[in-house]
Amino acid sequence: MADIFREVDEELQQERAATLWKKYGGWVIALCVGIVLAVAGNVFWREYKANQRAEQAAAYAEASALLGQEKPREAAEAFAALADSGDAGYAAIARLSQAAALVDADDIPAAAETYMAIANDSSVPAPYGDLARLHGVRLRIGTANAPTLHSDLAPLLTPGNAWEPLARETEAAISIQEGDIDAARESLKLIADNPETPGQLRQRASELLQALGG
C-alpha cells in the first residue's frame, strides 16, 4: 500500500513540475533568444566599426529588417546566406541569428539542428558555441532521448561555465521528462544553493524543488 501512495505522489510531483516548466520554459527560451540577438548585434557592430565591412553590414541589416516585418523564414534564409558568404569573424553570429529566426518561424527541428551545428563547430568562440548548445538541447527536450540530451549538455555543466546555471535547469527538465525526480532535485538544489546563481533563476529552481517535494 505504501508503494501505491509513493507512486501517486511521484506522479503528482511530476505533474506539478511539468506545469511550472510550461510556465517558465517559454520565458527562458525567449530570454535566451533575446540574448542571442543582443550579443549578435553588439559583436556585429563592433566588428563593422573596426573593419568597415559595409556590404556585409547592409546584408545583416536587411536580414534583421525581415524579422521586424514578421518574415522570420525569409530572415533565416538571409542570415544563412550571410553566414555562408561572409567573413569567418562573424559567420557564427549570422548562424545564431538564423537559428533564432527559425524559432520565430516555429521550425523547431531546423532551429535545433542549426544550434547544434554551431555548438559542434570548433571554430566558433566558446561563449557563442556554448549558448548554441544550450538552445539546441532545450529545443529537443521531449523529442530526443534523455541520454543523448544529457550527453550533449555535459560540456556546459562545468564550474565557471557562463551558462552553467541555465544548463543545470535544463538538466533538471530532462530528468523530469524521463521521470528521474531524484536527479531533477539534485540539479535544482545545485542551482538554489549557489549564491552566484541569478535571483530569478534561483527562485524558479526553488519553486520547482518545492513542487518536487525537495
**137 vs 41, more confident:** 137
Position 125 pLDDT exceeds 90 = no
Long-range contacts of residues 128-133, Cβ cutoff 8 Å, at least 24 apart: 128/39, 128/92, 128/93, 128/96, 129/92, 130/155, 130/156, 130/161, 130/162, 130/163, 131/32, 131/35, 131/36, 131/39, 131/96, 131/163, 132/95, 132/96, 132/99
How far is the C-alpha of 149 from the C-alpha of 177, rounded, in Å?
11
pLDDT of residue 25: 55
Residue 117: CA count within 13 A, CB half-sphere: 16
Which domains are delineated in the chain?
10-157 (1.25.40)
36-83 pLDDT, tens digit each? 555 555 555 565 555 546 677 788 889 889 988 999 999 999 999 988
pLDDT of residue 37: 55
**Picking from 31-40, 82-91, 173-182, which range would have the lowest pLDDT averaged per residue?**
31-40
**109 vs 84, more confident:** 109
Position 137 pLDDT exceeds 60 = yes
The pLDDT mean for the chain works out to 82
Residue pair 26/204 in contact by the 8 Å Cβ criterion: no
Rounded average pLDDT over 190-200: 89
Contacts of residue 92, Cβ cutoff 8 Å, sequence gap at least 6: 83, 118, 121, 123, 124, 125, 128, 129
pLDDT of residue 96: 92
pLDDT of residue 197: 86
